Structure formats: structure tokens, C-alpha cells
Amino acid sequence: MSNSKKRDSVLINAPRRAALKLGLAGTLMLALSCGVSPAFAAASKPKVGLIMKSLSNEFFKQMKAGADKYAAENKDKFEFKAVGMKDERDFAAQVDAVENFVTQKYDIIVVAPADSKAMATPLAKAVKAGVKVINIDVPLDADAKKAAGIDLAFFGPDNREGAKLAGDALAKDLGPGGKVVILEGNPEADNAKERKEGFMDSINAGKLQLLDSKTAHWETEEANTVMTNFLTKYKDIQGVMAANDSMALGVVKALDAAGQSGKIKVVGFDNIPPVQPLIKDGKMLATVEQYGAEMAVMGIKYGLRELAGEKFTGWVKTDVKLVTAKDLK
């Protein structure tokens, strides 16, 4: 570079360097005037971690998307990271995620537990380490919380009520004596138990006949296998209650293969996007919206409120809504 070009470069960059020095000095003066160190000022935003179940489940993809969007809109207020499991039974991954967030000194953990009993102990360790823990979607078991010495509020839907909404729609369509099967969720999760109870409420009230009930652990392919076996074993199935929409997708796949789509009525739970065309086309009768994206955002908001000094106990209930073809027009 020639001497003249070097001089030009120095002259051009000098104001920038002066402005940078002035900015740094201004930041230092502001931090000192507030009585805090510059290091603290730079690292004062709380860290929020979201732990979900399987990200292969469309419901939790929606949950993550909603939380990511909210975090991006509020990036000046908190740092955020979301993690999920490989599949619905990868419980060890949730434990590892809790431990990692504690080690990384996260201030808030928002969690949808895969196992309502076993997750109480690792979450209790997080609480005792000073982390604010917000339980969403799936409630921790009351006895397990008591044994672990924690009293956490639950922020989520009435799963029994939601399942009954779907079950009642099926009972109304089939009428008394209708023959049905249930595909249950993960037996270790309280929301799976509650949804089965809701379905059973509808079966009893609608005088339906339950042929069989088995778990497919929330998974699409396992549900496809379970439903295929049901179709082989029972020749007179009229309705199917799937405890989530991922399993409902597997049910419809099995019905398609057997030429029974639309003939055997199917209800699900979650209102994930892939089931909406199936409802419109008559391959599913109904599902239940439980607003997963909004639930995650609510969990973050309540976590920040607890960090600010508020304390919540009991059950903060979120909405559920029956979704049928007329709602999707």
C-alpha cells in the first residue's frame, strides 16, 4: 500500500476508533454510575431453558416454534434455549437436560415431563440449586413432588376434560352400543392416564362398547402397528380414540391400508397441522386444541414472574377446545 493510501486509511478510520472509544467509555461510566460492574451489566439477562418431549412429535415442534418466536421478540430481556428428546421414552435425555441447565447456571427451567414420577427428583435438585422450575403440559405426580420436597404449580390443560370432548363427539356420532378401541399414551405420563380417563367417561356416558385399549407410547409408527393388530383381531371396530394426534396419524395410515378410512371414526388430541386435512376429508372426526405454543410462552412468562419474586402453587389451567371439520373451513 502506498504512503498516501495509508494516510487516507488512517484518516477514514480515526473517527470510527474515536467513536468506539467514546462508546466504551460511555458504557463504563453508565455502569459505574449505577453501582454495578461492566461485567455484571453485560451478563444480567436471565437465562431460560425449555425442556420438551420428543421433537419428532409435531405438537412439540409447534411448542418450540412458539417459544422461539417469543424469545426472539424479547431477546433484550432474557436468553433462551429449547431442547427436546429423541423420542417419547428417552427419559434419560430429559434428566441430562435438567442437569446441563443447572450446570450452565440457567435461572429458569420450563419443562414438559416425560415421566410424571421420575422427573420429580432431578427437578427438585434444580429447585434446591436456586433454579425456578415451571411445570407445563404434563403434571408432575403429587406424591412424587411431596417425596422430593418440592411444591411446584402446574401450568397446563385439563387433559381429562379435553379427552372427554373428543370422546363425546365420537359417542354422539356412533350412538349407544358403538364399538371402540383406545390407543393410550406413555403409561408413565400423567396426561396419558388422564386422557384415558376422559375417554372412559365418554364411553360410560355414551354407552359405548370398549373392545380393547393399548399404549402406542405417543408414537405414529407404533400406533400404526397397534391399529393394524386391532383390525386383525376385531372385525367390527366402529371408532378409535387416540390419546394424541401423532398416534391418530398412525391409525389413519392403518385404516388407509385396510380400506377402512372414513368408515371407522377416529378422534385425536393436539390439533397438529397434519391432522387438519384428514378432518376436512372425513378421515378423522375430531381433535382437541390445547394451544401448545401459547403454553410454552406462558411458562416463560410465569418463570420470569417467579424470578421477580412471585410464587405460584396449585393448578393454573389453560384452555382446551374441540376441533371438527366445521372449525377448519
Tens-place pLDDT, residues 218-272:
999 999 999 999 999 999 999 999 999 999 999 999 999 999 999 999 999 999 9
Q: Please tell me the distance from the alpha carbon of residue 174 to that of residue 180, in angstroms, as a whole number.
A: 9
- Would you identify the CATH topology of the domain 159-289? Rossmann fold (3.40.50)
317-327 pLDDT per residue, tens: 999 999 999 99
C-alpha cell at 92: 434419560
| Whole-number pLDDT of residue 18 | 38
- Would you identify the CATH topology of the domain 47-156+292-318? Rossmann fold (3.40.50)
| Whole-number pLDDT of residue 43 | 53
| Whole-number pLDDT of residue 202 | 98
| Whole-number pLDDT of residue 29 | 37
Low-confidence ranges of the chain (pLDDT < 50): 1-42
Amino acid of residue 77: K
| Whole-number pLDDT of residue 28 | 33
Burial of 154 (0-12, 13-18, 19+ CB in 10 A): buried
Contact 119, 111 (CB under 8 A): yes
Tell me the β-bridge partners of 113.
none
Closest Cα to residue 238, out of 289, 285, 288, 287? 285
C-alpha cell at 80: 433462551
pTM of the full structure = 0.84
> Which part of the chain is CATH 3.40.50.2300?
47-156+292-318, 159-289
| Whole-number pLDDT of residue 86 | 86
| Whole-number pLDDT of residue 44 | 84
Closest Cα to residue 272, out of 300, 251, 241, 293? 293
Reduced to 3 states, what is the DSSP secondary structure of residue 238?
coil
| Whole-number pLDDT of residue 25 | 39
